[in-house]
Amino acid sequence: MAEPLSDFHAIIPAGGIGSRLWPLSRADAPKFLHDLTGSGHSLLRDTWDRLEPLAGPERISVVTGRAHRAAVEAQLPGIPDRNVFLESEPRDSTAAIGLAAAVLARREPDIVIGSFAADHVIRVPHLFDWAVRQAVATAREGYITTVGIQPTEPSIGFGYIRKGGELVVDGAPEAALVESFVEKPDLETAKAYFADRSYLWNAGMFISRADVLLAEIAANRPELHAGIVELAEAWDDRDLRGPAVDRIWPTLEKIAIDYSVAEPAAAKGRLAVIPGHFDWDDVGDFASLAKLNSHGHKNDLAILGENARILSDAASGIVVSQTTRVISLIGVKDIVVVDTPDALLVTTSENAQRVKGVVDALKLTGHGEVL
């Protein structure tokens, strides 16, 4: 791979718990801290390792909750202190990415920033690298740029990006305008999208000049922008940051960057897309975790857990073992078993989406200590 870019800073928002992966993911062990692929590394670390060849170790920032500071620093021993942005409470992605962008723009005015989820799985890193390099080239031209994933099946689990007219950008032969965003479709529609190669999966990756991103926030959400800028001005002053965070952060509007930036920019013809040809998964639930770890063999039993002691007979699906117990699975198909010291989940791939409902029920029934 090529050298790191000199004007690119990657931002990793590491916020979500991943409730649909309970009891594996939970408040004190969120999804991004787990090794979900058997790589030996957490998803956060894998994300860092993908970005380092692009941004270099000095230009990767993580935005995370105060509670996760120690875990994040343990996963990323090379991260400079100033690149760890701690949230006192979650305020959604516009505030998180916007604040980092504003602070980074004060440090390096012409910087191009890119935001990449901490808990997605990507394979074939050189194709990821190539897509991001094209996105950065496009962003330099003033476009807010996303990387859309070329679908490998007619998924109903993801939102889609419709590619429009091609752009002529030096260093980005695949750049195109985004025509529109489309919500998760039904199967019929998903099949049509899959056949029509101009629909890409929305993986939530946004690359743009920091000042362009902030201008877009200013245009669409002026109050939020003002709060972000005020906080950013205080950020790098040791004495001012704390009081400014206490005063401003809790007042910032909670809104996803998709709505505050991406959709309005698309409507104005200012949003570009680079198709990504790498394998990508957001590992949203145990069904996708099972699929990811069974390498496409439908009758396999995928096993996650370093010390797993599994005895299976005619079983398929996934078993996640975080204990040293012997786990015996007999004649259960597409099963999901997650064995942790204080909670056990048994469900099926088909029911994987319902796990979130159980988490909500646990909150209501006084079992919150296992969440």
Q: Which is nearer to a copy of itself, 291 or 356 (CB)?
A: 356
Binding status of residue 347 toward a copy of itself by CB under 8 A: yes
Q: How far is the CB of 30 from a copy of itself (least distance, A)?
A: 19
Least CB distance to a copy of itself at residue 345 (A): 5
The nearest distance, CB 300 to a copy of itself, in angstroms, is 16
**Tokens for 286?**
């145990």
Listed residue (223, 182, 52) closest to 125, CA to CA: 52
Closer Cβ to a copy of itself, 3 or 369, answer by number: 369
- Residue 318: which H helix or E strand, with range? strand 317-321
327 three-state secondary structure: strand
Let me know: does 85 contact 72? Beta carbons within 8 Å.
Answer: no
Q: Cα separation of 44 and 217, whole Å?
A: 27
Count Cβ atoms below 10 Å from residue 68 Cβ, excluding itself: 24
256 closest CA partner among 13, 10, 87: 13
Task: Provide the mask over 322-341, with x wherever binding to a copy of itself is found by CB under 8 A and - wherever it is not.
Answer: ---xxxxxxxx--x-x-x-x
Residues in the chain: 371
Among positions 192, 269, 350, 363, the unique one binding a copy of itself when judged by CB under 8 A: 350
367 near a copy of itself, rule: CB under 8 A:
yes
- Candidate segments 6-14, 128-136, 296-304, 342-350, binder of a copy of itself by CB under 8 A: 342-350
User: Which helix (H) or strand (E) segment is 274 a member of?
Assistant: strand 271-276
CA atoms within 13 A on the CB side of 313: 2
- Stretch touching a copy of itself by CB under 8 A, among 54-62, 67-75, 191-199, 357-365: 357-365
CB of 371 to a copy of itself, least distance (A): 10
301 near a copy of itself, judged by CB under 8 A: no
Token pair for residue 256? 């996803």
List binders of a copy of itself among 18-77 (CB under 8 A).
23
Terminus-to-terminus CA distance in the chain, angstroms? 41
Binder to a copy of itself among 241, 309, 316, 320 (CB under 8 A)?
Answer: 309
Q: Which positions touch a copy of itself (CB under 8 A)? A: 23, 309, 311, 313-314, 325-332, 335, 337, 339, 341-348, 350-351, 354-355, 357-358, 361-362, 365, 367, 370
